[in-house]
Structure 1
Amino acid sequence: MNKSEIIIKGLPVKTTRLENGDVNLLFKIANYDKTQSIYRVIVKKDYWRDAVIGMKDVNYFVIKGELKACVNSKGTPFISVEATSIKIFHLLKDENGQIDLNYEMPAGTDEIMDISKLVNENEDLSIKRSKNKAINYMKNNNKFNKPIVVKKGSLVIVSGYDEYAAALELGINNVPVSYADN
């Protein structure tokens, strides 16, 4: 059987710790035909511990894993995923308590952060043409093209100045960020 990968996004409907310490997450994901599929995601205990350090009020997961077709004891098929990558987010909610996910998070996003926390030490780096291109992309696609790259400790912007400037101009308060390697 070929190995294939899947990315699951959302909030699990159930989380349980298994006897061996691994964590079992149960997701219900809507399909293109408006039905729901159930996915069981197994996260190894050490991996889970590292992923949740410092997290409070987690409300969104992005999990990449190896897909496996399984059958339960009653003969009912289900999909099982062994997590190979997990990112956990605390996304801000609107006045109705709903998570605002009008846009897909761009690849490489490590966190969704309030734009006011970011430090822009290079105000002159935003070229008007590039900023306008970023604004047009956000307006037309209702999402960011890429995350804003920041230094982890200081939150100083390393790249993504155009996305930063466009978000400021469009009044977007929560932006996707990625942490620089150094």
Structure 2
Amino acid sequence: MKFCLACLLCLLLAPVWAVDLRDGDVVLYRHALAPGGGDPPGLKLGDCGTQRNLSDAGRDQARRLGEALRQRLGGLRVGAVWASPWCRTLDTARLAFPGLPVKEQPAFGSFFGQMEREAGQLRDATALLAGWRGPGVLVVVTHQVTITGLSGIHPASGEGVALRWVDGRAEVLGQLAAPAP
């Protein structure tokens, strides 16, 4: 019995590149490296000077993240890129997927420190994700609290979680490790 549970755990935590991604699947990425936690007091969306932003290492990580996903997708393409309206998520998305339009989606914003917003925001985010049908894979760059709320997985900066909608609910396909430096 212990062996079967261990096998199940391995399958649940299998890296996404071992999973057959297809049109309509979703990869949620936590933004790349941005030193600190949360945001400073006085945060204003649209004013990056009031937010926690990507470091030089984070900008490099974001570029490598996009390249790693494109290589793993093979012939499948990134169909759309969505991001939370925070500067660090928008910057991650734009650096990772240059040439693709990045659509700001407030439902994927951070509710860190504002947990009263969690249920409504996750409901809105789930509705958006459930409506995605492709073509291609949808990439969403968001925050740890949002990914954890949607998948139960606590990703590090630059890590991804792949999802597929089956019978109206999200199925976690696996995790995509942050690209190595």
TM-score by length of 1: 0.23
Task: Identify the structure with the greater helix proportion.
Answer: 2
- Compare relative contact order (CA 8 Å, sep 6+) and give the higher one, 1 or 2: 2
Structure (1/2) with the larger strand percentage = 1
Whose radius of gyration is greater, 1 or 2?
Answer: 1
TM-score, structure 2 as length reference: 0.23
